[in-house]
Structure 1
Amino acid sequence: MLKTLLAGWLALMLAACFATFSWAATPPARYKIVTGPERGTYIQIGQDLSKWVAEPAGIDLEVMPSKGSAENVQRMRYEPGVKLALVQSDVYQAYLDMANAGNPDAGSTIRPLRLIMPLYDEEIHFLVRADSPLRSINEIKDKTISVGLIGSGTAQSATTLYRLMFGQPIPEQNVQHFSNEDALAALIVKKIDVAVVVAGQPAKLFTDMNPDLLQQLRILRVDPSAPETARAQQAYFPATIRTSSYPNWLKEDVPTFTVKAFLVTYDYGLRDTVFHLNRFADSLCENFDNLQEHGHPKWKQVKLELPNLGKGWQYYPPVERRLRACIARRAEGGNGAPQEAATRRAAPRTNCTNQERLLLLCK
């Protein structure tokens, strides 16, 4: 009898050890997240998600730089291995608006995408030379402006804000599409009058910049009494760029506009992907305090919540269920096509509008 019991106990122990070994030996899922420029805030947020969320969930999350939000939407939709993306709210809405207006390329691109959760607000910086006569954002009409690279969220924000404020697009002869770094250089040497940069403070673009060069730049303010400001606030919200973010540059806080950042995925249906994204959601909830404590300062502005969404916006249902259950536990404690492979996109058209070019729907 004792011999039989010992044999049974030994078999159970071996089975448990084998199961543990098999789990440890299982290679992690290899996913990608598309973010933003190398010295922007998005790429740091992606690195935080990779370290504090994906790794504990058994996911090897490669953090990919990009031009910005519009490129991220395209890569999320069509590039193999990209399972997550960071996207500005105005870019996401622009795709939806074009889809609802009957643009088939915009519809096929945006409609299968789903939100995981809102993140934080990104400040919109309107920069001029320190000796510029311009003082407020409503004075930029008819100036030469770098609105950011085509495919970036900055380009969408800059052109949308201008159109809202002045009731017309930026004249083509006044538009430049420089990267953030090239825009600041062009500003200093007087090739342009204004550079627009969308980045969550404190942005490495400015904190890493040579102090002498930084002193040659100034951020334009929002004038609350200007009629252009009221029109801009139809889509954008007030924010403040704080001296505490750039103590060696700013002598006072600067009022500006802001745009929301979202974590986005696809409406996946394959079991393995759903399984790993559910693990990602569980880890996001479990390690949220670590993100706020150890990650980029912007994480302190993120709330673990899933607010109601506007028309056409949808959460990813499997992850939404996990996060809502987790949020409820924390409170107590204190269908697009489910395809896995990337879809081949149609060849882009060449007879396109400026808006289609900014969203990379057309060349």
Structure 2
Amino acid sequence: MRQLLLTAALCLASLGAHAAGDRIVTGSDRGTYIEIGRDLSRLIGKPAGLPLEVLPSKGSAENVRRLRSEPGVRLALVQSDVYRAYLDQANAGDAEAARLIKPLRVVMPLYDEEIYFVARADSPLRSIHELRDKRINVGPVGSGTALTATTLYRAMFGSPMLEQNTSFLSNEEALVKLATDKSIDVVVIVAGQPAKLFADMKSEARQYIKLLTLDRAAPETQALDGTYVPATIRATSYPNWLTQDATSLSVKSMLVTYDYQSPDVRASLTRFAKSMCSNFEKLRTEGHAKWQEVSLAPPQLPKGWSYYAPTQKVLSHCDTEAEPARNVASEGKAPAASSCSQSREVLGLCRVASR
């Protein structure tokens, strides 16, 4: 009887996973990633007979884990610096990071996501390189924003953020605390423009918050490598908030999958790639504005990164007129392994209590 119950439970679990269908993990409900996921589901997956359930998440680091462990998750949106951080940890000897990242494959690089450094309107801070020792909210543990914020800080100042100065609140919670009780100096948010969080703001927001800008001449920002590049946050994206364009930084986003060997899954993702070829212009005309920045021509990936062979075979031939996009990241030196560094914590590689 015990064996029969166990068998029945396994069968039900299998049926439940199958019934869930194919899924794509994205980002927060008010972020750009979830809109991109909905575009892919509606305009690419549906015509391919691959209806994708679009799932919200904390962001890129969580998406890597869910792609590896959650039934039915076939695709994930991941920032290139998060992907690289996992690779660096793996190359430094982190077995868990290697287990998570080594079997993942890039379907296609997407667009550059802008990085917003938000301060109070009355703050004396003006530029990104003035962040040293400030109280900074980096987003939830497991989010791509947390990884980006902590990596940028370490690259600019040569040391991790002070623990007592680092908070892991959601974007909305952090912006409220920034503007009210002033317990936070800067909120870091990563989102492709126009981001709903800022686009929905009323003009009164100018009285409370402002953007810090990039000073390219500052030694701290010159220390950044090619993973992060200058970007313009346009006033036209946020007319109720910005009165002029602002220069900041950006990071490349990518569409990622697992190195599936199952004939059925390979066939499904091949159909998805063919649908991308056929319906790419619909993404540009009917989808989020960021699709205007995406090219179908696959660029050469940095060392240690690999394309998913079935989709690359299709995508590399469906748009021969497209100009290759720039490399999504530059090869970097792996950091020394540690028991629980700030990078390992925000990647979810440490078993830490929620803050």
TM-score when normalising by structure 1: 0.85
Q: Does 1:163 align with 2:151?
A: no
Report what 1:141 is aligned to.
132
Pairs within 5 Å for 1:170-319: 170-189=161-180, 190-213=182-205, 215-319=207-311
Equivalent pair of 2:107/2:308 in contact (CA under 8 Å) = yes
CA distance in 2, matches of 1:327, 1:293: 17
CA distance in 2, matches of 1:261, 1:361: 21
Report what 1:92 is aligned to.
83
1:262 and 1:234, CA in 2 relative to 1: closer, same or farther beyond 3 A? Answer: closer
CA distance in 2, matches of 1:137, 1:166: 11
For residue 234 of structure 1, report the CA deviation from its aligned partner.
Answer: 4.8
Equivalent pair of 1:115/1:263 in contact (CA under 8 Å) = yes
For residue 232 of structure 1, report the CA deviation from its aligned partner.
Answer: 2.1
For residue 183 of structure 1, report the CA deviation from its aligned partner.
Answer: 1.2
Task: Output the amino acid matched with 1:325.
Answer: H
For residue 29 of structure 1, report the CA deviation from its aligned partner.
Answer: 9.2
Q: Tell me, what secondary structure is at the counterpart of 1:252? A: coil
CA distance in 2, matches of 1:191, 1:29: 42
Report what 1:325 is aligned to.
317
Q: Tell me, what secondary structure is at the counterpart of 2:109? A: strand
Give CA deviations for 1:282-329 in whole Å, capped at 9, x if unaligned: 00110000000010000001111100000110000011101112123x
CA distance in 1, matches of 2:203, 2:169: 22
Out of 54, 58, 61, which is 2:49 matched to? 58
Equivalent pair of 1:129/1:188 in contact (CA under 8 Å) = yes
CA distance in 2, matches of 1:226, 1:300: 31
Q: Tell me, what secondary structure is at the counterpart of 1:315? A: coil
Report what 2:105 is aligned to.
114
Q: Does 1:42 align with 2:33?
A: yes
Unpaired runs of 5+ residues, structure 2, are 1-17, 323-338
Q: Tell me, what secondary structure is at the counterpart of 1:84? A: strand
For residue 268 of structure 1, report the CA deviation from its aligned partner.
Answer: 0.5
Task: Output the amino acid matched with 2:68.
Answer: R
For residue 361 of structure 1, report the CA deviation from its aligned partner.
Answer: 1.5
For residue 354 of structure 1, report the CA deviation from its aligned partner.
Answer: 2.2
For residue 184 of structure 1, report the CA deviation from its aligned partner.
Answer: 0.7
For residue 49 of structure 1, report the CA deviation from its aligned partner.
Answer: 0.2
Report what 1:81 is aligned to.
72
1:233 and 1:102, CA in 2 relative to 1: closer, same or farther beyond 3 A? Answer: closer
1:215 and 1:302, CA in 2 relative to 1: closer, same or farther beyond 3 A? Answer: farther
Report what 1:354 is aligned to.
342
CA distance in 2, matches of 1:33, 1:234: 28
How many residue pairs match? The answer is 318
Q: Tell me, what secondary structure is at the counterpart of 2:193? A: coil
Give CA deviations for 1:132-185 in whole Å, capped at 9, x if unaligned: 110001111111000111001100110011111111111111000011111111
Task: Output the amino acid matched with 1:305.
Answer: A
Equivalent pair of 1:34/1:84 in contact (CA under 8 Å) = yes
Equivalent pair of 1:29/1:59 in contact (CA under 8 Å) = no
Unpaired runs of 5+ residues, structure 1, are 1-26, 332-350
1:73 and 1:223, CA in 2 relative to 1: closer, same or farther beyond 3 A? Answer: same
Pairs within 5 Å for 1:21-32: 30-32=21-23
Query: Matched residues, percent identical?
Result: 57
TM-score when normalising by structure 2: 0.87
Task: Output the amino acid matched with 2:96.
Answer: D
Stretch deviating more after TM superposition (28-37 or 302-311): 28-37
Give CA deviations for 1:247-283 in whole Å, capped at 9, x if unaligned: 1211111111110000000000111111110100000
Equivalent pair of 2:133/2:165 in contact (CA under 8 Å) = yes
CA distance in 2, matches of 1:256, 1:76: 30
CA distance in 1, matches of 2:278, 2:46: 13
Q: Tell me, what secondary structure is at the counterpart of 2:189? A: strand
Superposition CA RMSD, Å: 1.7
1:234 and 1:281, CA in 2 relative to 1: closer, same or farther beyond 3 A? Answer: closer
Task: Output the amino acid matched with 1:231.
Answer: A
